[in-house]
């Protein structure tokens, strides 16, 4: 009960900030259950003046601190959960916070790397960038008598405890929503928060970000247009990440790119093809490819930084992506529908023909437009919207892919407004299809299947033994019934009573909060 009250108190503060910033004014009333309609109307009475302008939700999340900032960034990748309009609002959310002091940063470095800062770095600048989880300094090291510039990323002190507290509130809301709402269960809100929690946990261990950069470096070592900064493992730990400093031109600096006479049409091609190559060929892609995280080096190669958010696609998802893209290009809508059913994304009780008809409604308008007007990201967005009508459960990896593609396409078209996305993507998609769905791919798939079959056969005696044990236990249960110990029955009763009391108290607290708001308003009047 105390835990429930604590959650409600913290969430009540968050609700007040949302109300003041006018967030409830952009919520679709159709998404609110009848019981919540009146509280939302009351919340709108305390909007501050000027709250109706600008990105309301972004302002509110920034006021609420690091965990809410990260929640907003994460939900920007989930229009299926928050709606398209709110997702667009969140896309403008900037993960920027005031930096913490130089002394604190140096203390974190010294403790984490177990050496004084002066022994690790020749120099260490004040922070050059600060976000919700970490900040970045420019440093200099000496190796073999040669000095090199490095980027030093330092985790914020005590940030883990703050995130754990706020994430527990998010889980509380998601669990209650799934308990009372079928739509929340379809959207799998608890799984959404779980996914975010795992993502944040990985971001707060900078060794994992270093490992992601290292893995991508291996994958792309032979790529003609892309590279990854080198990790300095000797100066990297849980709380500190040291990498090669990139002196290239950031892709958001169009003036410098113009001064350097960069071929922007070719640059747009590099951005699109690099992303698709990583997603399809490697199944491992940078999921935060905004222009500030991309540089053009002196050799004309793209260089990515900030590997805190990465996406993975298993072979099944890669095949799904390639086949639906090919299906839209060739106007084979039935095949696009069949791929969804084969992948298990759409429940089998639906009709393939009806689903193909819905796919046709997305695909046909494409063929009546000029190439530069066609957006692959928009196509995937519409596809994911249609699949909701056919009970397709949320696929976080596909949503992340789609949102990353939106960003990548936007970056590429900022350099070439007439970019033909299909022409640029065709070599990468076709190469993957020929390699994986052609004769060579089928032979390799057969060999892999034979290997799995052999592994299953060698495990057969163990499987049979376990099956016999389970059958014997079922026989005993059938004969004697399922018996619960008295202590178990008593514990179940105590748990249910506690849950009931917690819900009752929480409802009264919320009601009292809104009554207090009304009293305050009446006094102001």
pLDDT tens, position by position, 138-159: 999 998 889 999 999 999 998 8
Domain identity same for 272 and 417: yes
The pLDDT of residue 524: 41
The pLDDT confidence band at residue 31, using thresholds 50, 70 and 90, is low
Domain identity same for 198 and 325: no
The pLDDT of residue 111: 95
Query: Is beta strand 240-244 parallel, antiparallel or unpaired with respect to 146-155?
Result: antiparallel
Domain identity same for 132 and 37: no
Count how many domains the chain has.
5
Q: Is residue 124 part of a domain?
A: yes
Domain identity same for 128 and 224: yes
Say yes or no to pLDDT of 499 above 70. no
The pLDDT of residue 186: 73
What is the helix (H) or strand (E) element at residue 284, kind and residue range? Answer: strand 284-286
Domain identity same for 226 and 256: no
The pLDDT confidence band at residue 494, using thresholds 50, 70 and 90, is low
Domain boundary among 222, 245, 268: 245
Q: Which residues contact 426 (CB under 8 A, 6 or more apart)?
A: 329
**Is 492 or 1 the better-scoring residue by pLDDT?**
1
The pLDDT of residue 516: 45
- As to burial, measured by CB atoms within 10 angstroms (0-12 exposed, 13-18 middle, 19+ buried), residue 523 is exposed
Single out the residue of 308, 289, 299 nearest to residue 246, CA to CA.
Answer: 299
The pLDDT of residue 27: 67
Q: Is residue 442 part of a domain?
A: no
Single out the residue of 83, 241, 240, 68 nearest to residue 166, CA to CA.
Answer: 68
Say yes or no to pLDDT of 453 above 60. no
Domain boundary among 377, 403, 437: 437
Q: Is residue 258 part of a domain?
A: yes
The predicted model gives 4-31 an average pLDDT of: 76
The pLDDT of residue 206: 94
Say yes or no to pLDDT of 221 above 90. yes
d(CA 278, CA 93): 26
Q: Which residues of 1-39 are buried (b: 16+ CB within 10 A; e: fewer)?
A: eeebeebbebbeebbebbbbbbbbeebeeeeeeeeeeeb
The predicted model gives 317-343 an average pLDDT of: 83
Domain identity same for 234 and 257: no
Domain identity same for 241 and 133: yes
**Is 235 or 441 the better-scoring residue by pLDDT?**
235
The predicted model gives 486-507 an average pLDDT of: 55
> Reduced to 3 states, what is the DSSP secondary structure of residue 152?
strand
| Long-range pairs of 177-185 with CB within 8 A, sequence gap ≥ 24 | 180/33, 181/33, 183/31
Q: Is residue 220 part of a domain?
A: yes
The average confidence (pLDDT) of the chain is 79
Q: Is residue 264 part of a domain?
A: yes
Single out the residue of 246, 251, 290 nearest to residue 267, CA to CA.
Answer: 251
Say yes or no to pLDDT of 26 above 60. yes
Reported in sequence order, the residue ranges of 208-248 that DSSP labels E, i.e. its strands, are 226-227, 240-244
The pLDDT of residue 505: 47
Domain identity same for 228 and 335: no
Most confident of 274-288, 376-390, 441-455, 488-502: 274-288
**Contact by Cβ (8 Å): 277, 289:** no
Tell me which residue has tokens 């985790």: 155
**Contact by Cβ (8 Å): 250, 262:** no
Say yes or no to pLDDT of 513 above 60. no
**Contact by Cβ (8 Å): 114, 103:** no
Domain identity same for 180 and 316: no
| Rounded (10°) angle between helices 2-20 and 56-64 | 140
Domain identity same for 271 and 312: yes
The pLDDT of residue 165: 86
Residue 468: both structure tokens together? 């016999």
What does DSSP assign to residue 122?
A: S
Q: Give me the domain span that covers residue 59.
A: 1-95
Q: Is residue 339 part of a domain?
A: yes
The pLDDT of residue 255: 92
Domain identity same for 238 and 262: no
- Active-site positions read 288
The pLDDT of residue 38: 76
- % of the chain beyond a pLDDT of 70: 72
> Reduced to 3 states, what is the DSSP secondary structure of residue 275?
helix
The predicted model gives 97-110 an average pLDDT of: 93
The CATH number of residue 176's host domain is: 3.30.200.20
The pLDDT of residue 369: 67
Domain boundary among 245, 275, 308: 245
Tens digit of each residue's pLDDT (9 = 90 or more) over 346-404 = 888 888 999 889 888 888 877 666 656 667 667 777 776 776 677 776 666 777 787 78
Domain identity same for 153 and 200: yes
> Reduced to 3 states, what is the DSSP secondary structure of residue 125?
strand
d(CA 112, CA 122): 18
Q: What is the pTM of this model?
A: 0.71
Single out the residue of 60, 63, 71, 66 nearest to residue 24, CA to CA.
Answer: 60
The pLDDT of residue 355: 87
The pLDDT confidence band at residue 419, using thresholds 50, 70 and 90, is confident
The pLDDT of residue 403: 75
Residue 312: both structure tokens together? 């993975």
Q: Is residue 392 part of a domain?
A: yes
**Range with lowest mean pLDDT among 123-127, 268-272, 406-410:** 406-410
How distant is the alpha carbon of residue 228 from its chain centre? 21
The pLDDT of residue 213: 95
The predicted model gives 49-54 an average pLDDT of: 61
The pLDDT confidence band at residue 484, using thresholds 50, 70 and 90, is low
Q: Is residue 443 part of a domain?
A: no
Tens digit of each residue's pLDDT (9 = 90 or more) over 84-100 = 666 666 766 666 788 99
The pLDDT of residue 377: 66
């Amino acid at each position: 009960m105390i835990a429930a009250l604590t959650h409600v108190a913290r969430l009540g503060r968050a609700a007040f900030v949302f109300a003041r910033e006018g967030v409830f004014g952009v919520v679709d009333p159709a998404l609110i259950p009848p019981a919540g309609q009146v509280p939302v109307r009351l919340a709108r009475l305390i909007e501050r003046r000027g709250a109706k302008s600008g990105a309301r939700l972004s302002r509110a999340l920034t006021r609420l601190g690091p965990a809410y900032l990260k929640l907003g960034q994460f939900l920007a990748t989930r229009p299926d959960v928050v709606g398209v309009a709110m997702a667009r609002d969140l896309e403008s959310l900037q993960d920027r916070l005031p930096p913490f002091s130089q002394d604190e940063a140096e203390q974190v470095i010294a403790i984490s790397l177990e050496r004084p800062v002066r022994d690790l770095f020749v120099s260490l600048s004040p922070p050059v960038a600060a976000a919700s989880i970490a900040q970045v300094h420019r440093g200099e090291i000496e190796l073999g008598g040669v000095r090199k510039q490095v980027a030093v990323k330092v985790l914020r002190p005590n940030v883990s405890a703050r995130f754990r507290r706020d994430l527990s509130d998010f889980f509380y809301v998601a669990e209650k929503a799934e308990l009372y709402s079928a739509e929340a269960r379809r959207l799998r809100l608890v799984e959404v928060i779980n996914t975010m929690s795992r993502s944040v946990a990985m971001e707060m261990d900078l060794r994992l970000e270093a490992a992601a950069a290292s893995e991508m470096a291996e994958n792309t070592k032979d790529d003609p247009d892309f590279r990854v900064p080198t990790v300095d493992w000797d100066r990297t730990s849980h709380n500190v990440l040291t990498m090669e400093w990139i002196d290239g031109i950031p892709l958001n600096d169009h003036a410098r790119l113009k001064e350097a006479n960069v071929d922007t049409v070719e640059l747009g091609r590099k951005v699109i093809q690099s992303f698709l190559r990583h997603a399809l060929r490697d199944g491992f892609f940078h999921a935060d490819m905004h222009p500030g995280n991309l540089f053009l080096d002196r050799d004309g190669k793209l260089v990515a930084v900030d590997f805190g958010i990465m996406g993975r696609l298993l072979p099944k998802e890669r095949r799904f992506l390639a086949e639906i893209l090919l299906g839209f290009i060739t106007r084979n809508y039935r095949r696009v529908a069949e791929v969804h059913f084969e992948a298990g994304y759409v429940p089998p009780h639906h009709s393939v023909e009806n689903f193909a008809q819905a796919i046709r409604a997305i695909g046909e308008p494409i063929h009546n437009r000029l190439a530069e007007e066609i957006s692959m990201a928009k196509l995937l967005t519409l596809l994911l919207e249609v699949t909701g009508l056919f009970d397709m459960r949320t696929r976080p990896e596909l949503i992340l892919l789609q949102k990353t593609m939106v960003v990548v396409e936007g970056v590429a078209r900022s350099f070439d407004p007439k970019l033909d996305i299909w022409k640029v993507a065709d070599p990468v998609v076709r190469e993957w299809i020929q390699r994986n769905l052609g004769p060579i791919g089928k032979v390799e798939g057969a060999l892999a299947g034979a290997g799995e079959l052999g592994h299953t056969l060698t495990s057969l005696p163990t499987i049979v033994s376990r099956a016999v044990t389970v059958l014997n236990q079922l026989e005993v249960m059938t004969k004697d019934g399922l018996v619960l110990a008295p202590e178990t029955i008593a514990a179940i009763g105590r748990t249910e009573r506690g849950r009931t009391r917690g819900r009752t108290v929480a409802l009264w607290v919320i009601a009292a909060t809104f009554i207090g708001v009304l009293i305050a308003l009446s006094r102001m009047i």
